[in-house]
Amino acid sequence: MTGDAIHPAWLPDEAWQAVGSRRVLVRADGPLARTVMQEATRATDHHGGSVGDDGRFDLVLALTDTVGLPDTAASVLAELDYRSGRGTLGTEGFALARRGGVTVVLADGTAGLLYGLFHVVRLGEAAFGAALPLDVHHPVTARRMLNHWDNIDTHPVMGQVERGYSGGSIFWRDGGLTPDLDRIRAYARLLASVGVNAITVNNVNVHATEAHLLTDRLGDVAALADVLRPYHVRVHLSVGFNSPTALGGLPTADPLDPDVRAWWAETTRQVYAAIPDFGGYVVKADSEGQPGPFGYGRTHAEGANTLAAALEPFGGVVHWRAFVYDHRQDWRDRSTDRARAAHDHFAALDGHFAGNVILQVKHGPIDFQTREPVSPVIAAMPSTHLAVELQVTQEYTGQQRHVCYLGPMWSEVLAFTPWGATRPTVAEVASGVAHGDERAAPGRRPSGQGGLVAVSNVGDDPFWTGHPLAQANLYAFGRLAWNPLLDPATLLDEWIDLTFTPAATADPGLLRRTLHEVMDGSWQVYESYTAPLGVGFMVRPGSHYGPDVDGYEYTPWGTYHFADRDGIGVDRTRATGTGYTGQYPKPWSDVYESLASCPDELLLFFHHVPYTHVLHSGKTVVQHIYDTHFAGAERVALMRSNWARLGDAGLVAPDVDARVRERLDEQMRCAQEWRDQINTYFYRKSGILDAHGRRIH
C-alpha cells in the first residue's frame, strides 16, 4: 500500500445521483436484501432521497413472493406472471419496468435484486424518465469468475501478485490476511456491480505458504468469504495437486489411492464446515513445474475426478486448467508444437470428466498473446463442461503501462463460431447452450455449468489497476460474462458514465469522445507496434515487457517465430508443418491450412512465409511490418495528445490525469522502442528496404 487515498474506481457516490435522489422501497428479507438496503440508504443519504415505506415511491425493489406489493409493482408482477410464470427469473435474474411514474425491479432471489439495483444505477436518469416496458435480465453464463494470481508471501521472482501490475495483493499483507477488509468489501461491491460472482484468492502456482489456505490457514479464507458473501461473490481456492503429500503427510498423491481420496474428502468436508457456500477448487497440474496426475501415471480425468468426488456432496466444482504443456522442450525439434499441447492432452478425455469438473481453457492455444486463434479445445469437448479463461491482467498487452482496452478482443473471441456455422459461439459453449441445454441462450437461463473466468488485474494500488484506464477491462469482463453479446464500445460508455461523473458534467461530450479515441482501437494499436501477424511473443523473457525479438527463440518454452533470412512464421499446417490445423473442425481446419484463406492477422501463427509474400491486403509481409510499426507509434502519439486535451481542460481529477500522462509517456517510449527494434530486425534479416524510405536501420 502506498498510503494514498484509494480511488473509488467506477461507482463513486456521484454515480448514484439518480437513485439517491429518489424515494426507494425495498421489500425483501435475507443477507443480500440487507446489502440492497444498505446501498440504497447510502445513496439516498448522500443525495437527499429516502428509503422506507411511507406509501410514496419512485423505485420499488421487491421479491416476487412478497405479499401486499404496492399497486404498480403488483401490476408489473402480474404481467411477469402472465408472460413467463413466477419463479422463472432464477437466482440471479431480475425484471425491470417503469410505469405510472414508478420504477419496479422484481427478482425471485435477493441476488437478482442486488443486480437489479446496480442495473438501475447504470441506467441513471433513464430509469426514471419515460415508461419502460417490462424487460427481463438473466446472466448468460452461470459462473463469472476472477482468478487472482496472488501470493501471501512475496515471491523472489514474481513478486506478490504473479503477473500483477497494480501493486501488492488486496487480500494478503505481511504474511497473512490483510487487516484492510474495507478494501475487500469495496472490491466485492465493484464485482457485484458488473455481475462477477466467484473469485479465487490465491495463485494457481501454489507455493508452500499458500498451500496451507486449504487446511490450517482456512480461517483466513473464511474471513474473506464473510466479506464477499453480502455481495454474492463466492470464494474458490487454488490448490496443489500434491496437497495430500505436502499437507497431509501421505506418501503419495496418486488420485486413485484410497487414502488420497479419503484425504481429499475429509479436507473438503472441513472446508465446507468453515465456509458452507465455498465454490470449489482451481487446479493447475502438470504445467510449468506444478505437480499433477502424470507423476503417478494417471490421466487428467482421473486427477480431476478425485477432487470432484470430494466436492460433489457439497455442490462444489473443480476448475481444472487445460493449460498443460512441456516447458522444457528441445528448441531444435520442429515437430513439437506448444500450440498443440492442450488438445493433445485433453481431447481424448472428453466424456471422462465428472459432472462437477469444469475444464478451464485459455482462449487461445498458447498463452494470452495479443493475437491468437481460438483454442481448438473449445470445439473438441462436447461432453465436458468448459470454462473459457481470459486475461484481464495485461501480461502480454502492455502491463497496465500501455492503454489496451481488451473488450473488443474478448468480444471477438466470444462471438467466434468454432464450427463455422453461425451458431454456436464460444460464449454459448462456455454457457452450456452449445451442447444440448436449450434453456441457455442470451436473455434466457444458463445451464448451470461452465463459465467465463479471467485473471484479475487488481492490486492494492490506489487506482486499483495501476493504469486508471485499465479499470475498463475489469468492468468489460464482468459485463461480457453476464452477456457476451454486449457491445464493447457501449460498455466503455457505461464505464465512462459510472466513473468520471463529477468532472464530466463540464463537457461530457469531449470526455466521452476523447476516451473513445484513446481506448476504442487501443488493442489493435498495441498489436500494430508489437509482434506482427499473429506470430506472438518477441517480448523480453521473464518480464514479458518490451521487445526482445529473439529472446525466446532458442529456449525450451516453445514460443518461436523461426525468422531467418528468407522468411518468418510457424508452419502449423498438416501438409508440411506440425499438423496443428488438423485440431480444428471444418471449415477452420481448411481455412487456416491454406495460405489463400488464412486471415492476415493470423498468417504467421499458421504459416512460414517469405518476407515478400503478398498479404490479402496487397502488401508484402515485410512492408506490412514496417507500415504497421510506424503507424502504431504515431497512433500512440495521437492518443497522448488527445488525453492531454482532456487533462488541460480539467475534465478529469488531477491525480488520475497525472497517472495517465505518466503511463502514456512510457507507452510512447516503449512503442518507439518496439517500432525501431522490430523494423531494424526485419530489415537486417531480409535486406529489404522500406518502400517509403523511412529510417529502419
Nearer Cβ to ligand GCW, position 424 or 536? 536
By the 8 A CB rule, do 91 and 108 touch?
A: yes
Nearer Cβ to ligand GCW, position 368 or 464? 368
Residue 261 binds to ligand GCW (criterion: CB under 6 A)? no
Instruction: Give me the least distance between CB of 286 and ligand GCW, in Å please.
Output: 12
Nearer Cβ to ligand GCW, position 264 or 323? 323
Pairing between β-strand 451-455 and β-strand 150-155 as defined by DSSP bridges? unpaired
By the 8 A CB rule, do 366 and 324 touch?
A: no
Residue 210 binds to ligand GCW (criterion: CB under 6 A)? no
Nearer Cβ to ligand GCW, position 103 or 394? 394
Using CB under 6 A, which of 50, 205, 243, 581 touches ligand GCW?
205
Instruction: Give me the least distance between CB of 533 and ligand GCW, in Å please.
Output: 21
Alpha-carbon 532 to chain mean position: 24
Of the candidates 675, 689, 572, the residue with the CA atom closest to the CA atom of residue 620: 689
* Range list of β-strands (E), 229-300: 234-238, 280-283
Using CB under 6 A, which of 22, 144, 163, 479 touches ligand GCW?
163
Instruction: Give me the least distance between CB of 213 and ligand GCW, in Å please.
Output: 16
Q: Tell me what percent of the chain is helix, strand and coil, each rounded to the nearest 5.
A: 40, 15, 45
Residue that the C-alpha cell 468469504 belongs to: 225
DSSP H helices, 416-470, are 426-431
Residues marked active site are found at: 288, 367, 395
Residue 593 binds to ligand GCW (criterion: CB under 6 A)? no
Q: Binding string, 117-156, against ligand GCW, x = CB under 6 A? A: --------------------------------x-------
Instruction: Give me the least distance between CB of 470 and ligand GCW, in Å please.
Output: 17
Q: List binders of ligand GCW among 271-330 (CB under 6 A).
A: 284, 323
Phi, psi of 567, rounded to the nearest 5 degrees: -175, -170
Query: Element (H or E) spanning 120, and its range?
Result: helix 110-123
Residue that the C-alpha cell 523473457 belongs to: 541
Instruction: Give me the least distance between CB of 200 and ligand GCW, in Å please.
Output: 11
Q: Quick one: cell of 381?
A: 469437448
Instruction: Give me the least distance between CB of 287 and ligand GCW, in Å please.
Output: 6
By the 8 A CB rule, do 307 and 256 touch?
A: no
Residue 372 binds to ligand GCW (criterion: CB under 6 A)? no
Instruction: Give me the least distance between CB of 149 and ligand GCW, in Å please.
Output: 5
CB contact set of 547 (below 8 Å; sequence gap of 6+)? 530, 538, 539, 540, 673, 674, 677, 678
Give the max Cα distance, the chain.
81
By the 8 A CB rule, do 459 and 162 touch?
A: no
Residue 377 binds to ligand GCW (criterion: CB under 6 A)? no
Phi, psi of 157, rounded to the nearest 5 degrees: -100, -45
C-alpha torsion sign, points 391, 393, 398, 403: positive
Nearer Cβ to ligand GCW, position 180 or 326? 326
SS3 410: helix
DSSP H helices, 55-97, are 71-84
Instruction: Give me the least distance between CB of 561 and ligand GCW, in Å please.
Output: 17
The residue sitting closest to ligand GCW, measured at its beta carbon, is 367
Nearer Cβ to ligand GCW, position 9 or 204? 204
Q: List binders of ligand GCW among 398-437 (CB under 6 A).
A: none
DSSP H helices, 416-573, are 426-431, 471-482, 488-499, 501-504, 508-519, 522-529
Using CB under 6 A, which of 39, 92, 286, 367 touches ligand GCW?
367
Using CB under 6 A, which of 39, 92, 150, 162 touches ligand GCW?
162
Give the total of residues touching ligand GCW (CB under 6 A): 10
Residue 241 binds to ligand GCW (criterion: CB under 6 A)? no
The DSSP secondary structure of 528-575, one letter per residue, reads: HHSS-TT----BPTTT--SB-TTTTTTSTT-------SSEE-----TT
Nearer Cβ to ligand GCW, position 161 or 670? 161
Using CB under 6 A, which of 204, 275, 429, 652 touches ligand GCW?
204
Instruction: Give me the least distance between CB of 537 and ligand GCW, in Å please.
Output: 11
Nearer Cβ to ligand GCW, position 553 or 655? 553
Nearer Cβ to ligand GCW, position 319 or 675? 319
- Binding residues for ligand GCW, per CB under 6 A? 149, 162-163, 204-205, 284, 323, 367-368, 395
